[in-house]
Amino acid sequence: MQFKAREVKQIKAERLDKLLANLGYGARKDVRAWINEGIVSVDGSMTTSPAQKVTADQVLLEGKALDHPFGLTIIYHKPAGSVCSRKEGGRLIYDDFPARWLDRKPPLSSVGRLDKDTAGLLILTDDGQLNHRITSPKQHISKTYLATLAEPLSGKEKNIFASGKLLLEGEEKACLPAELQMLDNQQVSLILHEGRYHQVRRMFAAVGNHVTALCRTHIGALSLQQTGLAAGEYTTCSPQALMALICAKTPE
């Protein structure tokens, strides 16, 4: 899949050592040492001044342009078995990305989470505004899941999920209406308009079933299939290109 280059928002000049440290290249003291060694150039000339105010597009490190200097947004195919939290043990989604990306400031965060056993489409970004746009219910960006069930459907689930009256265990507010499409008697596609903790698994638990496999196939109009990503693979794109994909009009 091809993405347009990121349109740069406001580029602020900042100290060279801070800029490199925030892009994850190393601690400020290491970065200063490299600048002293003469491996950093600004506008084509070697510099030894860590305090020099620069924008990232002026800088080369060992002759190379900086890595995603104006923000980082990732479309990722999360494999089942990896966790989205940075704090948990076991395999983390972050293990699939270059180590330098994890030392960036602002930090990379997932846009919402998928639970450990769920696979599928996940966005990560260091852009707080973008993160909010995709998760905020006001933006009406639906999420679609493919669920495989332990028991055959009873036939009542579609109406129950669409009713806006389904209460999940331990909650007082009913789920927003959700659209269920039966693919066969133990496989469904489910479109949600909100994101509660383990929502799909809990919705099926509420109707006496159990989800045995779960995959997020769409965020808005963006489908996992169109990305061509295999489990564990990712691609980067600009926030603008991402929103165009998510908000694309789909034929009726």
Binding residues for ligand URA (CB under 6 A): 114-115, 118, 198-201, 214
- Token pair listed for 152: 């055959």
Question: Taking Cα atoms as reference points, which of 108, 81, 80 lies closest to residue 94?
Answer: 108
Query: To the nearest whole angstrom, how small is the minimum distance from the Cβ of residue 202 to ligand URA?
Result: 6
Burial state string for 88-99 with b = 16 or more CB within 10 A and e = fewer than 16: eeeebbbebbee
Query: To the nearest whole angstrom, how small is the minimum distance from the Cβ of residue 135 to ligand URA?
Result: 13
Please tell me the distance from the alpha carbon of residue 126 to that of residue 112, in angstroms, as a whole number: 13
User: Is 24 or 120 the residue whose CB approaches ligand URA more closely?
Assistant: 120
Q: Are 79 and 224 in contact (CB under 8 A)?
A: no
User: Is 90 or 106 the residue whose CB approaches ligand URA more closely?
Assistant: 90
User: Is 199 or 209 the residue whose CB approaches ligand URA more closely?
Assistant: 199
State yes or no: cis peptide before 79, omega within 30 of 0. no
User: Is 110 or 236 the residue whose CB approaches ligand URA more closely?
Assistant: 110
Question: Taking Cα atoms as reference points, which of 74, 76, 104, 100 lies closest to residue 239?
Answer: 74
User: Is 67 or 115 the residue whose CB approaches ligand URA more closely?
Assistant: 115
Write the burial class of residue 76 (CB in 10 Å: 0-12 exposed, 13-18 middle, 19+ buried): buried
- Decide the pairing of beta strands 222-223 and 234-236: unpaired
| Residues annotated as catalytic (active site), given as ranges | 115
Query: To the nearest whole angstrom, how small is the minimum distance from the Cβ of residue 143 to ligand URA?
Result: 7
Query: To the nearest whole angstrom, how small is the minimum distance from the Cβ of residue 226 to ligand URA?
Result: 20
Please tell me the distance from the alpha carbon of residue 116 to that of residue 111, in angstroms, as a whole number: 15
Query: To the nearest whole angstrom, how small is the minimum distance from the Cβ of residue 153 to ligand URA?
Result: 17
Query: To the nearest whole angstrom, how small is the minimum distance from the Cβ of residue 201 to ligand URA?
Result: 4
Please tell me the distance from the alpha carbon of residue 127 to that of residue 233, in angstroms, as a whole number: 21
Q: What amino acid occupies position 146? A: L
User: Is 199 or 238 the residue whose CB approaches ligand URA more closely?
Assistant: 199
Please tell me the distance from the alpha carbon of residue 86 to that of residue 191, in angstroms, as a whole number: 28
Neighbouring-strand partners of residue 223: 218
